[in-house]
Amino acid sequence: MTDHYAVFGDPIKHSKSPRIHTLFAQQSQQDLDYVAQQVPAETFVTATNDFFANGGQGLNCTVPLKELAWQYADQLTERARLAKAVNTLAKQADGSILGDNTDGIGLVNDLIGNHQIQLAGKRILILGAGGATRGIILPLLDCQPAQISIANRTVSKAEALVADFAAQGRLTALGFEALAGQQFDVVLNATSASLSDQLPPLPADLLAANACCYDLAYGNQPTAFVKWGLAQGAAQSLDGLGMLVEQAAEAFFIWRGVSPATTDLIALLDTERQK
Ligand code: NDP
């Protein structure tokens, strides 16, 4: 029997998730379908109730639904509870709905597994203090970095986030102007600036020797931040395509108990976007 999965979001037309999950299913011989459905925030609860009532097994939620999905879930994993955002809902054997957030582990798996960027003992800087930053903090802290600093345009948002995660590890909040004179080994752009081809105001000399840059955003062209990293001499300057595939792989594992292979799929999507 074919099991049903979907991604809800608004907008959703350009989502790569149906393609990724369909290829995962083919590769691991799982009998499932996966569709994208445009769901505005106002109809999220009704659409999600209908989806699970009609045999849906698992759902991904993207912008602007991750907080609503967090509220919807009957149980939450620890990383989702702290993130206050859910990107994966999974129907359990007793009919209840589990909420998880696979964005952070997706990022970590791409950094460490695909690009050999080690995080233990490293000075990490996260730019931005929105939903994506919330999702990645705990998995990053689990990698035992020397420090994590969070710089945001609106400093109070970075401070609130640091306060929420204070019990989990050492975090620092600051504004962009306070970055002058500091150096980092890994700089993660979790602002949405790249989506409008903008760059947060970053000082020169922000990168330590052999530092790596990573933009959570991705597109068909290198983002403004990826270009900045290359111009600053970063050892690697990457975008979030690998994170997208890795967070999907983690969701697939939650639903199906099978870890799909990701390397060839990332390479395929990377080649296609360069055409
Ligand atoms: P949010 O809207 O929650 O947060 C946006 C953040 O960007 C805020 O901190 C905001 O600052 C900051 N910002 C926006 N514009 C600028 C600018 N011009 N200069 C400096 N800072 C700016 O977005 P999300 O956290 O949900 O998403 C962030 C990014 O992560 C997006 O690009 C998204 O596509 C990407 N993402 C990628 C994933 C993947 O799988 N690859 C998964 C999830 C997210 P302020 O608080 O001051 O407004």
| pLDDT, tens only, 127-186 | 999 989 999 999 999 999 999 999 999 999 999 999 999 888 889 999 999 999 999 999
Residue 63, SS3 per DSSP: coil
Residue 5 pLDDT: 98
| Amino acid sitting at position 49 | N
**Has 16 been annotated as catalytic?**
no
Question: pLDDT tens-digit profile of 250-265?
Answer: 999 999 999 999 999 9
Reply yes or no on whether the pLDDT at 274 is more than 90. no
Find out whether 7 and 51 touch, Cβ atoms under 8 Å: no
Residue 1 pLDDT: 85
Residue 53 pLDDT: 97
Which CATH code is given to the segment(s) 104-241?
3.40.50.720
Task: Quickly state the pLDDT bin for 105 (edges 50, 70, 90).
Answer: very high
Reply yes or no on whether the pLDDT at 17 is more than 90. yes
* Stretch 33-40: mean pLDDT: 98
- C-alpha 19 to ligand 1 mean position (Å): 24
Domain locations in the chain as residue ranges: 3-101, 104-241
Residue 15 pLDDT: 92
- C-alpha 195 to ligand 1 mean position (Å): 9
3-101 and 104-241 share one fold: yes
Reply yes or no on whether the pLDDT at 195 is more than 90. no
Half-sphere exposure (CA, 13 Å, Cβ side) for 164?
18
Helices (H), the chain: 17-28, 44-53, 66-72, 78-83, 103-108, 131-141, 155-164, 224-231, 241-256, 263-273
Mutate to test the pocket of ligand 1, among 61, 155, 192 (most ligand atoms within 8 A of CB): 192
What fold, for 3-101? Rossmann fold (3.40.50)
Ligand 1 pocket, CB under 6 A: 103, 106, 128-133, 152-154, 157, 190-195, 198, 200, 216-218, 240, 243-244, 247
